[in-house]
Homo-oligomer: A and B are copies of this chain.
Amino acid sequence: MPAMSVEEVDAFLESVFPEMHQGGRIFSTDAITEEGARVSMVPQARHLRPGGTVSGPTLMTLVDIAAYVAVLGHRGPKALAVTTNLSINFLRRPPLGPLTCTARILKNGQKLVVLDAAVEGEGTPPVLVAHATATYAMPPDGKDA
């Protein structure tokens, strides 16, 4: 069961990553779930590439935030949890409009948390835009509280 609520995660991110919302509130925490978390974004002009598509680095940022939110939601406030690996497959050109990333914890280990993440755009059914896996190293117990 989750260790933090959406409101607690948002307040924590606000305090440790104030620069995340620079230039406007792009990312929003939709839910902390039993499996992980869901974060969405509404791309702005500066995230676009030729042809109106969202850039790869923007998708990687969305994945990194969703995975971090899942780690926070399940492990509590750990600013020092660090990404050690992120691997992403870009599958389809994102449709215009909001994108949602669903991060799922595959292993919630003492030292390492491993997740996968699916980024989807709007459609019926939703369009699978990218799929990623990420690993976070957790700080030793007692550090960060």
Contacts and interface: CB of A to CB of B under 8 A. Distances in A.
Interface residues of A, number: 39
Nearest to A86: B88
Contacts of A124: none
A86 B56 contact: yes
- State the copy count for this chain: 4
B85 A87 contact: yes
A90 B80 CA distance: 14
A85 B79 contact: no
A48 interface: yes
A49 interface: yes
A56 B49 contact: no
B135 A89 contact: yes
Contact of A17 (B17, B22, B49, B112): B49
B133 A89 contact: yes
Nearest to A91: B107
A80 B133 CA distance: 24
A92 B82 CA distance: 10
B17 A50 contact: yes
A68 B10 CA distance: 34
A85 B116 contact: no
